[in-house]
Amino acid sequence: MQEAIKASTAKFTAEELITKREMVRDEIKAQLKVRLKDRNILVDEFNIVNFEFSKNFNDAIEAKVTAEQQALAAKNKLEQIKFEADQKIAEARG
């Protein structure tokens, strides 16, 4: 079973293991069905409860998300400033 899980999870990035959990689950379930069929074991359902990553990896993911949020906030602020400037120009033209 460990081999099936390792083979399946190796097809995904660490980020995808979290964001594409259902796809990962389906891949693992399919691998288990194939490998356990010869032993007359039927896999009816398979659930992923939790993935555990190192603290460094978790910190890196958190930093990435924070950076993306800050970039989005900066973009929104720039668009707002641009909009306000366009409004002032339109008002000045009358």
Contacts of 27 (CB under 8 A, 6+ apart): 8, 11, 12
Same-domain check for residues 26 and 37: yes
Same-domain check for residues 69 and 92: yes
Contacts of 48 (CB under 8 A, 6+ apart): 21, 24, 25, 28
Residue 78 in contact with residue 56, Cβ under 8 Å? Answer: no
Same-domain check for residues 58 and 91: yes
Rg (CA), the chain: 24
Task: Give the amino acid at 42.
Answer: L
Task: Give the amino acid at 52.
Answer: E
Token duo for residue 86? 């366009």
Same-domain check for residues 6 and 44: yes
Total-model pTM: 0.55
Same-domain check for residues 1 and 45: yes
Same-domain check for residues 38 and 60: no
Give pLDDT tens digits for 17-72: 888 889 999 999 999 999 898 899 988 888 888 778 888 988 888 898 899 999 99
Same-domain check for residues 31 and 67: no
Q: Which domain holds residue 1?
A: 1-52
How confident is the model at residue 85, as a pLDDT? 94
Same-domain check for residues 87 and 73: yes
Same-domain check for residues 47 and 2: yes
User: Among 58, 71, 73, 38, which residue's Cα sits nearest to residue 4?
Assistant: 38
Q: How many structural domains compose the chain?
A: 2
